[in-house]
Each structure stands twice: as C-alpha cells, then as structure tokens.
Amino acid sequence: MSRVKRIAKELEECKQDSHSGVSLKLNNETDLTHLTGVFKGPPGTPYEGGNFQVDINVPSEYPFKPPQMKFITKIYHPNISSVTGAICLDILKDAWSPILTLKSSLISLQSLLQSPEPDDPQDAEVAKHYLSDKKGFNDTAAYWTKIYASDVDAGQAELSDSALYGIDNDIVVQFENMGFPRDKTIEVLRRMGIKNLNSVSNKSETENKILEELLKECQ
Amino acid sequence: MKVQVLEWNAVASWHWDLKVDDSGVADELCGICRVPFDGTCPSCKYPGTDCPLILGDGCTHNFHLHCILKWLEQDTSKGLCPMCRQVFVYKRIKNMGTSEELHNLQVLIEGHKAMRERENEENEFDSFEDDVRMTD
Amino acid sequence: MLSSELISSIIPTPNLSDINAGELENDISIIINWIKLFPQPIAEPTLRVKSAVKSVLKDESSQFQFTKLLNNSINENFQLEGFHMDGMNICPDELQGADLATVISRVINTKRFYDNLLISLNLNLSTSCLNLYKKNINKNFKLLIGEEVFLAKIYTYFDENFLRLNSFHDFNIILMLQFFEAIEMKNELNQILINILIKKIKFYINENFKLAWSVPILHTLNNFIEHQIYSNIDFVLKSLHLSIDMNDLIKIGYNELISLRINEIYSIIIDYPKSEISLVELNRCLNFQNSDNFDPNIEFYQRNKLVENFSDNVNKNLLNAGINTINLIKTYIKIIKSFLILDPKGVLLDKVIRPVRKYLKTRDDIINKLVLGLLNKEPELVELSRELQNTEKSFKLFKNFDELNDLNWVPDPIDALPDFKKFKINDIIQSLISIFDSKEIFIVEFTKLFGNKMINSEEDLSVILKMINLLKLRFGKNEFFNLDIMVKDFINSRSNRGMVDSTNLNCLILSHLYWSDIIETPSFTLHPSLLLTFQAYNEMYKRENFNRFLKIIPNFGTVKLSLEGKSYNVPLDKASVILMFHDNNEPVSVASISETLNMSEYFTNKILEFWVSEGILLKITPQLYASNE
C-alpha cells in the first residue's frame, strides 16, 4: 500500500518536472511496480547523444529496499554489464536510503555514466579496456551509443563488429587476408584481450600467438 | 462605546512545530514517505496525535515515527539517518508516540548500535591480524 | 448431364397430332378422340373404340403410353381453355366477377368429373396409371387455384364470413375445404386462415390497446383470442384436419402487441411509473414461448427493433440542449427502472443507456445535481436520496442476483454487446456514479459540501455522520478517508471545549492539509484584542500538544458581541472592524483600520457601511467614521 502510494506520488512529481531530463513511465497502466526510466547520456562523455532506457522493478518493501534497475539499452561502461545490463552502483545496493527516489536513482545512473568507477567493475573486460586504453574505450563506448542508444535508426549506421568490441579493424583485416574468417578472428582477439597492436612492445610475438590461437580455433 | 466579546467560535489549523535546519528552512515533507508532516504516514488514517513525528537529535532531520521505525527495522539501515547517514538519535518528547512505539524504536536503535560495535571489534581484530602478518 | 427438362426442351412432348402410324398409337388416338367428345354426354363407344380399348389395356406399357398421351392432351386443354363443365368455360379471369360459391362448386364438380372419368368409362387401368392420371389432374387444378386472384377471393370470402364460420354449415365450405385437401393445398389455405387471424387480432389490438399503458390487458387479449378467434375457426380447422395451437394464436397476438408497444416504447418509458403494468406485460409477451415452434430469430429481431426504436427517440427527443439536467437524470432513472422490468438481465438496458450516459457526462452541472439529489437537497430528485437511504433494498437486489448467478448460471444473451457486464447497472446510484471513470470526482464534491457544512456549523453532526455512512455503503468505505479526518477534527474540537473553559473562545481545530479545498488564504488580520485571546488559547494548546501550534483562520468562525445593549453574531472581519471603536469616541479613518487589519479599503468601507446601517457607527466624512453615541 505504502509502496503504491509513494510510486504514484513520484510519478506525478516526475511528470511536473521536465527539466531533469529524466522520465518515468509505467510499462502497464494497471501495475505501478514495473516501470521504464529514460535519460540522456551526459554531454562531454562518449554517451552524449544517446537515450538510455532502464528497466525498473519496485520491490514490495520499497522505499525501504532499493528498486531493482538494469539497462535495457546496451551500453559500454565498466560498471554496467555489456551483456545483461546489470548495474553496479552502491546506492542501488547497500547504500540505499528511503529518501532516494526512482528519479534520483536515475540521476545517479546518469552521473555514473559521467564518472565510471573501474575499480569496482561490473564488466571486467570493459573495465580492463577503460584502464588500459582510455581513447579506445571512449571510441567503443561512443560507437555503442551511436548503434544502440541513438534515435537514428540502427540500420542507417553501419554496424561494425570490430568497432563493437573496440578492436582495431586493421588487425582483423590482417588476419582475414591470411584466410581466417572474420568472426573467428574477432572472437580470438576478444578472448585474448587484444584491441590493437600499436601499443604492444613485441608485436611479432603477439602476432604469432594470435596465429597459433586462430589455427587451433579453425581446425 | 463598549464592544464586548461574549463568545467566539473560531476556526484554526494545527501544525507541527518543526525546527529549521542549517539552511534555515524547515522541511515540510517526511523524507521517507514524501508526505507532508502535517499529513499521515501511509499506514495511518488520522494525522496528528495518531501519527506523530520523531525529531532527530544531533541531525536536524525529522520523520513520521512510523516511517523511521520501518526504516530502522531494515538491517541495511545500519541505524543511520536516511538523510545524512549519521547514527540516528532522537529527541525524547512527551506524548509523541505511544510507549510501545517508543520502546520499539529504542530496541531497534540499540540493536543497530550493538551490531556496529561487533563489526568494529571484528575490524579491529582483522587489522590486528594484518599487523601480526606484517610483522612476520 | 441429361435431364428430363433438357430432353423435353429439345424434343417436344408428343400428342395426338403426332400419332399417325402404328397400331397402338392409332388405338390410343381413337380412344382419346372419343373421350374428347365430352362435355357432350359421352356416346356409346363404337366397335372400333371398344377394340382400341381392348388393345390399349392389354399390357402395362401400352396403358402407360395411353395415360401419358391422355395427360398431355388434358394439359393442353387446361392451358388453352381453362377448364369447362356443362358447356361453361371458367377461365381464371372470370373469377373476379363471379360469386365465389358458384365458382367453387363448379370447380369442384369439374374436379369430380375428371377424377371419375376413367372409372366411368370402364377403362380398367392399372393403379399406377390411375395415380399418374390423378396426379396430373391435381397439378392442373393446383396451377389454377394457385392463381393470386383465386386465393385473394378465398381470403375475402373467409374474412367477410369470419364471424359466421362456425355456424355456417354451408355445403360449399365443407366441399371447398375437402377440395383444398384433395389437391394438397392445405398449407396455402392454412396460410390464408392465419393471415386472416392476424388481421383480426391486429385490428383488435390497435383498436383497443393503443395508449392503454396503465391497465393490465393481457387477460382481455387472451379472452378475445380464445373466445372470439379460436372458437370461430375451430370448425374450419377440424374440417380440414388442421390444428392451430391456442398458444400459437396467443403468440400471434403477443407479437402484434409487441409491435404496437415497440412503436410506443419511448412514450411508455417517459410515462413510467404510470405505465409500469404495460412494461411487465410486454416482458411477458417477449418471453412467451409457444409449444414447439419457438423461433429465437423473432425474439432477437424484436429486441433489436425495440432498442433501435427507443434509441432513435432518445436521440431525437432527449439528448439535446433543450432538456435540463434534472429532467435528464429523471429520465435516466426511468430508463433504468423500466428496462430492468423489460429485461432483467440488463442486456437491453446496457444498449440503450450507453448514449445517454455519454451525453450526461457532458453536462457541466451533472455532478452537482447528483450530489444534491443524493443528499436530498433537490426536491425534483428526491428519488436519489430515497435510493441512498434504502440500503436494504440494494443489498437484497445484489444478493438475489448473486444467488441466481450461482445456482443457475447462464451465458450472456446472444445479443449482449461484447463488453456487457452482468449486473453492472441494476443499482441506480451505482449506474449514475459509473458514468464517470472514477468515483473521485463525487468524493471531492461530497467532501467539499460536508466540509463547508461543518466549518460553518450549518448541519448537525449526527445528520452528517448518517449521510456519510450511507454514502460509504455505495462508494466504498475507504474512499472517504479525507472526510473521516475532517469529521474527527470536528469531534476532537468539540471535546476540547470542556478542557479550556477559562476563555470564551471555542475553537474548531483543523488538520489543514485535508481542508485545503475549503480554507482560503486569509484576506485580513484579526483585531489585536482578538489576536491576544487567540494567543492565550494557543499557549494552552501548546502545553497540551507538544510540538504543535495553532494558526487562526480568520475567514471562518463567528463572534458574539454585545454592543450598546444589543448582541450581534458576526463574522470575524466585521467584529475586528467594530472592535477598532472600542473605548474610543474619536473618529477613526478608513485608512488606519485598513492598515491595522491588513484589509483592502474597499472591503473596509463595506463593513463600515454595514455598522452604519445597524446604527452603531456614524459616517462623518467618506474617510472618517465614529461611534454613534
């Protein structure tokens, strides 16, 4: 009872406030406990220009327990699973307080996009990318934003499998020219955590290792 | 001329006397249920005596008694004020809440206090162990 | 595929002129020529005829050949000349002018002649051949009788002689009936009889029952059908070995009555409750099921027509700006009550009420009128408050429906609209409330109304509580939480009175959030002496209620004043203004009062004028007033 009353109040407040750039809507008019939140990617980040949808499930103990949130829109971020959209954010776990609201939680998510916490990652692969190659990370995150979070029809933007994983297309083409299938090449490179060869010190040794893996893969 | 008031049937409204916080503004909403203090918490029918407030002591944050009780019942609350995350302590004021409610509040606060102390001891023990390992 | 029709269209049917060669053909032709001598008395057969007969009768196939050719020859005759008898030709065209009895008897004689022809000629044909012959004769007569003119004549005859039918032991009638039976046209005759019955009953109903809505008539109608219709036709039916079920006749009567009432339906419902009995009887007619030829299509059609006709009238006569809201509500109630009599399942009501509901919703004053009606503040809608008081009835109604529902579940009637909900609209108040998507709009209105009554002490609390309890039964207990808080404020404040008896101040203390629709922002400040009294009260309140304080709401409440030996009960603004003259014989300026009381000069002036009119103050200049001592 208290949960429903409070959500209704929050929805009303959110409707009246159009400045925050955060919006909430019910998935089903008769159910106040399942909502979808939408907010814009913060400017000056690789998420700029994207609209991010978050699935919200309100537990019966709300507001004494945090709402369960996960990204519906695919996003490339150290604290968000690139596969499931699961979020690692303290206020949605131990640090929850009943004075927080669905709206303020979404705003917290928005600022999480602004300042990732790679030391407490949800997606280890993404976090590693972030720590090792900030520029490569930013390019990939921006690419994901363009592909998954933009109003532009995804079909219009050309989907590049290598860019999706932040892998330098040149290496993929290099191995493709040797006769390896593109998808296998990307898979092997992902597994080995290699995004490009420019920053690698012993380039030829790494190339040999990749070749070895690929030969095993393509037997 | 003499004007004498024989009888006066007045209409007035009651209000909680809320202490202003640091910024000089008294909060009007209970932060937990987001209902004005002069109204009821979600589980009460009548405002006022039946649905009293609890005033933070040390921090300036106030809540409906029933709301803060529900919050402190959660382990995750750790006995902290939802607003400022200081350990929640309240002002004892006569007639604010039934003795049963106040008793429950006291039990919860003490429970959290005991929990915190145990954690501190464990942490100290851990750091003691770390120290021992260091010296090895 | 070859069919007999196809063949006969290519190869013409043979007849006498085709016969020239072969012994059998010759013999047949001789016999038929001999028969053709009639209608002159048939001559003694010649030897040649006799030998021909002998040859024709010798075997079955010759007999068939003969019968076929004879039939063809007769057919040709019928087609060319109608049929004659005694030298008279009775072509169908002549039937118009002739006396039916004569015509019938002649037709019957002719028929007899043909029927007996072969026997009288001693032509001992086989049974199959005789049947073939008879069939052909019947076919020819049927074609003739089937002529519209002839049947119309029969219709008129029965119609005109209807009341005499039973006592009319006319030879011709019995013959005619036998004749119809003989040529297997009983059904046609039956149809004629039914048409006559319908005409008689229809005439009777329209003549006697138009606009007769306030008296029971079914009994009269049943009597008429039984004693004046059924008994008159009884004899005819028996003679024909036909039977019409009494119940079928009654059903015919009821269907006629239904048609009449369908045309009158709008006026009947407007006339409700005077017309109640006619609705009860119409329901009986609609549900009357006669023996085994019950036709669900007729029922479906009648119900549709009823709805259609009523709805047309509603659109034309009811749903327009010329009808005031109270009349609309009254008609709405009539529609519900009367249609539930017509069709207790509510399917028809559901259909006719929808447009009315949609229209009612567009009326600006509808909520206000309904609320006033429910609270018995609108004499024209006293019915609503009566409904509200009648809690027992509504519960019983629901209970009965529930039981019915449980024990004897039936699917929704086939003509129910897809979103028809059973029992949704059997309660008038419920039905009116549900015009709006939410009850809230009513709750808000009730809350305002009762709030105003309490804050102005206009109604006794016990009356208010009784009303609220009745409303809760209809609208749901939890819907009135706001009003419950207001009532509690009211009751608590009363019990405070005893507590603070040291002052002459009684205070109604409100939980302000729940009175926000009623209390307005104050338009002035109290006179300092009143403020002082209030502050003392407030201190006392604070001592009793820790951490709570009071704010005065100056726009409400009254002060009883003693002035120059007279006592006045006035609102706080008037009291505050006059208190400015207490112990003060100097003139006071409008501006200073306006400043002290934070009151607009316009308003201050108005109050000063009030006290002047009471003879308490004197207007010295437009800007100065003094006590009138």
CA distance linking residue B30 with residue B38, whole number of Å: 9
Domain termination site, one of A89, A114, A139:
A114
**Does C549 fall in a domain?**
yes
B chain contacts of residue A94, beta-carbon cutoff 8 Å = 76
- The residue count of chain C comes to 629
Question: For C295-317, how does the pLDDT look when each residue is reduced to its tens digit (9 = 90+)?
Answer: 778 888 889 999 999 999 999 99
Residue A218 has pLDDT above 80, yes or no: no
- Any domain includes C344: no
Instruction: Say whether both A178 and A82 belong to one domain.
Output: no
A1, A9, A63 member nearest B32 (Cβ): A63
Does residue B9 fall inside a structural domain? Answer: no
Count of the separate structural domains present in chain A: 2
pTM of the model: 0.65
* pLDDT of A57 above 50: yes
Say yes or no to pLDDT of C394 above 90: no
Where does a domain end: C145, C160, C184? C145
Are C223 and C171 within 8 A, CB to CB? no
Question: Which residues span the domain enclosing A202?
Answer: 124-217
pLDDT band at C423 (very low <50, low <70, confident <90, very high): very low
How many H-runs (helices) and E-runs (strands) does chain C carry? 27, 8
Domain end among A62, A93, A114 = A114
Q: How far is C597 from chain B, CA to nearest CA, in Å? A: 17
Whether A45 and A17 share a structural domain: yes
Q: What is the pLDDT of residues C480-512, one digit of tens each?
A: 999 999 999 999 888 776 555 556 888 999 999
pLDDT at C264: 94
Instruction: For residues A141 and A110, state if they share a domain.
Output: no
Indicate if A130 and A209 belong to the same structural domain. yes
User: Which has more pLDDT, C549 or C171?
Assistant: C549
Assess if residue A29 is contained within a domain. Answer: yes
Q: Average pLDDT of C581-594?
A: 92
Chain A residues within an 8 Å CB radius of B31:
98-99
Q: Decide if B105 contacts B70 (C-beta within 8 A).
A: no
Alpha-carbon span C23 to C233, nearest angstrom: 57
CB B18 within 8 A of CB B93: no
Provide CB contacts within 8 A for C49, sequence distance 6+.
C30, C31, C34
Chain B residues closer than 8 Å to A2 by CB = 33, 41-43
How many domains are there within chain B?
1
Nearby residues of A89 by Cβ (< 8 Å), 6 or more positions away: A79, A108, A109, A112
The whole domain housing B38 covers 15-136
Is B82 in contact with A98 (Cβ distance < 8 A)? yes
Burial C348-357 (b: 16+ CB within 10 A, else e): bbbbbbeebe
Q: If residue C562 lies in a helix (H) or strand (E), which one and from where to where?
A: strand C548-563
Q: Do A99 and B33 touch (CB under 8 A)?
A: no
- Which of C77, C111, C145 corresponds to the end of one domain? C145
A88 is catalytic: yes
Inter-chain residue contact A64 with B42, CB threshold 8 Å: no
Single out the residue in C145, C178, C200 at which a domain terminates.
Answer: C145
Nearest CA in chain B to C570: B8
The letter for the amino acid at B62 is N
- Residue C231: its pLDDT value, please? 79
Please judge whether B48 and C511 are an interchain contact, meaning their C-beta atoms are less than 8 angstroms apart: yes
Which among A57, A89, A114 is the end of a domain? A114
Distances (CA, A) of A19 to A15, A41, B120, C543: 10, 15, 44, 45
Percent of chain C scoring above 70 in pLDDT:
80
Instruction: Annotate chain B with three-state secondary structure.
Output: CCEEEEEEEEEEEEEECCCCCCCCCCCCECCCCCCECCCCCCCCCCCECCECEEEECCCCCEEEHHHHHHHHCCHHHCCECCCCCCECCECCCCCCCCHHHHHHHHHHHHHHHHHHHHHHHHHHHHHHHHHHHHHC
Q: Is residue B1 one of the residues assigned to a domain?
A: no
> Following DSSP, what letter does each residue of C151-176 receive, concatenated?
HHHHHHHHHHTGGGTTT---HHHHHH
- pLDDT surpassing 50 at residue C65: yes
Neighbours of chain B (3+ CB pairs under 8 A): A, C
* Nearest Cα residue to C375 out of C474, C519, C478: C474
Structural domain includes residue B47: yes
| Gap between the Cα atoms of B114 and B116, Å rounded | 5
Q: Is residue C222 part of a domain?
A: no
Which residue's structure tokens are 């009793």?
C544
**Cβ-based contacts of B8 with chain C (< 8 Å):** 504-506, 530, 533, 557-560
Q: Is B23 on the interface with C (CB under 8 A)?
A: no
Q: Measured between CB atoms, which of A6, A61, A97 is closest to B33?
A: A6
C39: confidence class by pLDDT, cuts 50, 70, 90:
low
| Chain B residues with CB-CB distance to C583 below 8 A | 1-2
Nearest Cβ partner for B33 among A2, A65, A97: A2
**A102/A129 same-domain check:** no
Report yes or no: B4 at the C interface, CB cutoff 8 Å: yes
pLDDT of A201: 74
- B39/C551 Cβ within 8 A: no
Q: Please name the residue that has the structure tokens 């603004």.
A: C573
Check residue C561 and give its pLDDT: 94
CATH number for the domain including A74?
A: 3.10.110.10
Q: Judge whether B8 lies within some domain.
A: no
Would you say C196 and C165 are in contact if contact means Cβ atoms under 8 Å apart? no
Least confident of C120-129, C268-277, C420-429, C513-522: C420-429
- Structure-block tokens of residue C396: 């019983």
Number of CB pairs < 8 Å for B and C? 149
Nearest to B74 among A10, A64, A101 (CB): A64
Q: Residue A119 falls within a domain, yes or no? A: no
For residues C2-15, give the mean pLDDT: 53
**Is residue B50, in this structure, part of any structural domain at all?**
yes
Q: In the predicted model, what is the mean pLDDT of chain C?
A: 81
How many Cα atoms occupy the beta-carbon half-sphere of A50 within 13 Å?
A: 29
Q: Secondary structure of C355-371 in the HEC alphabet?
A: HHHHHHHCCCCHHHHHH
Of A64, A94, A97, the CB nearest to B70: A64
Residue A52 lies in a domain: yes
Contact A99 B43 (CB under 8 A): no
User: Which residue of chain A has the CA closest to B76?
Assistant: A94
Helix (H, G, I), strand (E, B) or coil at C500: coil
Is residue C128 situated within a structural domain? yes
Cα separation of B120 and A114, whole Å? Answer: 34
Maximum Cα interatomic distance, chain B, rounded to a whole number of Å: 100
The answer to whether position C381 is within a domain reads no
**CA–CA separation, C613 and C618 (whole Å):** 9
Quick check: is C171 in a domain? no
Confidence of residue B67 (pLDDT cuts 50, 70, 90): very high
Residue C398 has pLDDT above 50, yes or no: no
Across the range C362-385, mean pLDDT stands at 86
Crossing angle of helices C186-209 and C246-270, rounded to 10°: 30
CA dist., res. C290 & res. C251, Å (int): 6
Q: Do chains B and C touch (3 or more CB pairs under 8 A)?
A: yes
User: If you search the block for the tokens 């004892």, which residue do you land on?
Assistant: B92
Q: Is some CB atom of chain A closer than 8 A to the CB atom of B30?
A: no
> Which of these is catalytic: A72, A88, A91, A197?
A88
Q: Identify the helix (H) or strand (E) that includes residue A53.
A: strand A51-57
Q: C434 pLDDT exceeds 90?
A: no
The average pLDDT across C104-129 equals: 77
Residue B76 C-alpha, separation from nearest chain C C-alpha, in angstroms: 31
Residues of A in contact with B83 (CB under 8 A): 97, 99
- The residue of chain B with its CA nearest to that of A98 is B32
Is pLDDT at C410 greater than 70 in this prediction? no
CATH code of residue C607: 3.30.230.130
> How far is C591 from C600, CA to CA, in rounded Å?
9
Average pLDDT rounded to a whole number, residues B26-43: 87
Residues in chain A: 219
Phi, psi dihedral angles at A176 (to 5 degrees): -60, -40
Q: How far apart are CA C328 and CA C362, in angstroms?
A: 12
Sort strands C505-511 and C88-89 into parallel, antiparallel or unpaired.
unpaired
Q: How far is the C-alpha of C235 from the C-alpha of C174, rounded, in Å?
A: 10
Residue A98: which pLDDT band, with cuts at 50, 70 and 90?
Answer: very high
In chain C, residues with a C-beta closer than 8 Å to the C-beta of B4 are 561-563
Is residue A153 domain-resident? yes
User: B108 lies in a domain?
Assistant: yes
Q: At residue A205, does pLDDT exceed 70? A: yes
For residue A189, the model assigns a pLDDT of 83
Structure confidence at residue C6 (pLDDT): 58
CATH of the domain at B72: 3.30.40.10
pLDDT of amino acid C375 = 84
What is the span of the domain harbouring residue C35? 10-145
Q: In what order do the strands lie in the sheet with C617-621?
A: C588-589, C624-627, C617-621
A22-28, strands of its sheet edge to edge: A22-28, A31-40, A51-57, A68-71
| Position C34 in a domain | yes
CA distances from A129 to A141, A207, B46, C11, C174 (A): 11, 19, 57, 101, 113
* Helical packing angle, C171-182 and C186-209, nearest 10°: 120
> B71 to chain A: which residues are within 8 Å by CB?
64, 98
| Spatial distance between the Cα atoms of A114 and A43, rounded to a whole number of angstroms | 8
Average predicted confidence (pLDDT) for chain A: 86
Burial environment of residue C590 by CB neighbours within 10 A (0 to 12, 13 to 18, 19 or more): buried
Residue C41, pLDDT > 80, answer no
Place of tokens 């020219």: A177
Mutation pick from B4, B6, B8 vs chain C, by most beta carbons of C within 10 Å, is B8
B 73-102 residues with CB < 8 A to A: 73-74, 76-77, 82-83, 85
Q: Are B105 and B97 in contact (CB under 8 A)?
A: yes
- Residue B2: inside a domain: no
* Confidence at residue C268, expressed as pLDDT on a 0 to 100 scale: 95
- Answer yes or no: is C588 within a domain: yes
Cβ-nearest to B5 among C504, C514, C581: C504
* A78, pLDDT greater than 90: yes
Does residue B51 belong to the interface with chain A, where contact is any CB pair within 8 Å?
no
Greater confidence, C37 or A27?
A27
* pLDDT higher than threshold 90 for residue C136: no
Q: Mean pLDDT, to the nearest integer, of A149-169? A: 69
pLDDT tens digit string along C541-567? 988 887 899 999 999 999 999 998 899
Q: Does B114 map to a domain?
A: yes
The terminus-to-terminus CA distance of chain A in angstroms comes to 61
The dihedrals phi and psi of A84, each to the nearest 5 degrees, come to -100, -15
Decide which of A130 and C39 is more confident.
Answer: A130
For chain C, list the contacting chains (3+ Cβ pairs, <8 Å).
Answer: B
Q: Is the pLDDT of residue C92 over 80?
A: no
CB contact under 8 A, B82 and A10: no
The arithmetic mean of pLDDT across residues C449-478, rounded, is 87
State whether A51 and A149 are in the same domain: no
Tokens of B41: 């918490």
Per the structure, the count of domains in chain C is 2
